[in-house]
């Protein structure tokens, strides 16, 4: 090959490498994959589908949900971090994958504060203490009594180490002295199904998906971990009303792109998220499921970036105190 030919080829490669930068204006020109790090049918999946559907309309391209479950959501989050940072793979993370996991996994494959370009908060999701409908306790106080007495005989479902359901029940168990047997699932969609079927005794989970079941009486809710009752579940007492004021768990779901994604692309995604969260139909669906619609400033990259940092600072000491880590 002649030098000129080699130079021509090299120039061609350079032009091809620079292409995405020139093509940003057209973004998105093909479908976008949104990784959900849990099984279908759980809160993260539901929020991703509700918000993603509206964002697809704004962006003019389909957002396709891909469920990549495992290791409390950290498998999917790792996939999200390693994806090409061209805006065509984003993920729906949450309080577990992007905050609690930091203290739980000493060798976590990613740093939530530096390995992602935050897009924005998609939903606030209060957490509830739930039990199978025939559990022999009517109030939280009675439930705590039974849980302490029964110890490992009780089955506590969760979505794996570091998930919201794991961390919030870990917190509950640490506050009350409950020592259940933990039953991990690939997400709280399947965990909730088993709670409804009476296969497990209790679950701490994000309000989404649990709300319709509580309303239908297929499961019991003892308390919600926020200062005020949820308008979606006005009969469920707050943890303070139920006698456990320290159990405060306001979880959340949020969209992240891999670090290094062009800020113009991130801004486009944040704007589409903002539009989705202002949409009446989206708001209605999220509110019916008990979600809290994020404030405008949290629907931005900077707002979510700051939120992630403060959530890591909040959860790390609680988890360290519980003494639980995973040897990965
Ligand atoms: N809510 C779940 C959790 O416990 C995950 C899911 O959305 O399925 O983290």
Q: Does 18 reside within a domain?
A: no
Ligand 1: which residue has its CA nearest to atom 8?
Answer: 187
Q: Does 280 reside within a domain?
A: yes
132 and 196 housed in the same domain: yes
119 and 143 housed in the same domain: no
283 and 218 housed in the same domain: no
Choose the weakest-confidence range: 22-26, 169-173, 189-193, 224-228.
Answer: 22-26
pLDDT tens-digit map of 133-177? 999 999 999 999 999 999 999 999 999 999 999 999 999 998 999
Query: How far does the centroid of ligand 1 lie from the alpha carbon of residue 57, in Å?
Result: 26
Query: How far does the centroid of ligand 1 lie from the alpha carbon of residue 77, in Å?
Result: 13
pLDDT tens-digit map of 90-117? 999 999 999 999 998 989 999 999 999 9
Q: Does 175 reside within a domain?
A: yes
Q: Which residues line the pocket of ligand 1, CB cutoff 6 A?
A: 38, 42-44, 94, 96, 159, 163-165, 187-189, 205-206
Asked whether the predicted pLDDT for residue 18 surpasses 90, the reply is no
48 and 85 housed in the same domain: yes
220 and 84 housed in the same domain: no
Percentage of the chain exceeding pLDDT 70 = 91
- Give residue 17's pLDDT: 46
- Give residue 15's pLDDT: 45
Query: What CATH number corresponds to the domain at position 48?
Result: 3.40.190.150
- Mean residue pLDDT across the chain: 92
Phi, psi dihedrals of residue 40, rounded to the nearest 5°: -65, 150
Query: How far does the centroid of ligand 1 lie from the alpha carbon of residue 165, in Å?
Result: 6
What's the DSSP call for residue 328? -
Domain end point (choices 207, 224, 241): 224
Domain count, the chain: 2
**Whole-structure pTM value:** 0.91
Asked whether the predicted pLDDT for residue 327 surpasses 80, the reply is no
Q: Does 230 reside within a domain?
A: no
Asked whether the predicted pLDDT for residue 231 surpasses 90, the reply is yes
214 and 270 housed in the same domain: no
93 and 141 housed in the same domain: no
Q: Does 145 reside within a domain?
A: yes
User: Ligand 1 test: best mutation among 37, 49, 187, most atoms within 8 Å of CB?
Assistant: 187
Query: What CATH number corresponds to the domain at position 207?
Result: 3.40.190.10
- 73 falls in which pLDDT band (50, 70, 90)? very high
141 and 281 housed in the same domain: no
Domain end point (choices 184, 208, 224): 224
256 and 120 housed in the same domain: yes
Q: Does 82 reside within a domain?
A: yes
Asked whether the predicted pLDDT for residue 253 surpasses 50, the reply is yes
b (16+ CB within 10 A) / e for 125-142: bbbbbbbbeebebeebee
98 and 134 housed in the same domain: no
How many of the other CB atoms lie within 10 Å of CB of 233?
18
- 24 falls in which pLDDT band (50, 70, 90)? low
For residue 36, the surrounding DSSP H or E stretch is strand 32-36
111 and 135 housed in the same domain: no
Q: Does 39 reside within a domain?
A: yes
Ligand 1: which residue has its CA nearest to atom 2?
Answer: 188
Q: Does 241 reside within a domain?
A: no
Contact 200, 157 (CB under 8 A): yes
Strands 89-94 and 32-36: parallel
109 and 257 housed in the same domain: yes
Contact 56, 63 (CB under 8 A): yes
Atom of ligand 1 nearest to the CA of 97: 9
Domain end point (choices 224, 243, 272): 224
State the residue range of the domain holding 284: 31-124+252-322
In angstroms, what CA-CA distances link 42 with 145, 164, 240, 297?
29, 12, 27, 26
């Amino acid at each position: 090959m002649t030098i000129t030919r080699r130079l021509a080829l090299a120039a061609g490669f350079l032009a091809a490498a620079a292409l995405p930068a020139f093509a940003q204006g057209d973004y998105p020109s093909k479908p976008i994959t949104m990784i959900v790090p849990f099984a279908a049918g759980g809160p993260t999946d539901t929020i991703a589908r509700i918000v993603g559907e509206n964002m697809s309309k704004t962006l003019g391209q389909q957002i396709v949900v891909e469920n990549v479950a495992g290791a409390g959501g950290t498998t999917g989050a790792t996939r999200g971090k390693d994806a090409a940072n061209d805006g065509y793979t984003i993920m729906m993370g949450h309080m577990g994958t992007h905050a609690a996991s930091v203290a739980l996994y000493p060798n976590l494959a990613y740093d939530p504060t530096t390995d992602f370009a935050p897009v924005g908060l998609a939903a606030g999701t209060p957490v509830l203490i739930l039990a199978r409908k025939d559990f022999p306790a009517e109030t939280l106080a009675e439930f705590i009594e039974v849980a302490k007495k029964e110890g490992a005989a009780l089955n506590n479902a969760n979505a794996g180490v570091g998930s919201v359901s794991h961390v919030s029940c870990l917190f509950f168990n640490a506050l009350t002295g409950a020592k259940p047997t933990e039953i991990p699932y690939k997400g709280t969609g399947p965990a909730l199904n088993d709670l409804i079927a009476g296969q497990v005794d209790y679950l701490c989970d994000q309000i989404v998906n649990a709300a319709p079941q509580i309303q239908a009486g297929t499961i019991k809710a003892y308390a919600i971990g926020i200062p005020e009752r949820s308008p979606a579940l006005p009969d469920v007492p707050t943890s303070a009303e139920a006698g456990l004021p320290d159990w405060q768990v306001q979880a959340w779901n949020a969209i992240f792109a891999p670090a290094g994604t062009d800020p113009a692309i991130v801004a486009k995604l944040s704007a589409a998220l903002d539009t989705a969260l202002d949409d009446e139909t989206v708001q209605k669906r999220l509110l019916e499921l008990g979600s809290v619609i994020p404030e405008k400033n949290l629907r931005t990259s900077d707002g979510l970036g700051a939120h992630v940092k403060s959530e890591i600072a909040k959860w790390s000491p609680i988890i360290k105190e519980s003494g639980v880590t995973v040897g990965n």
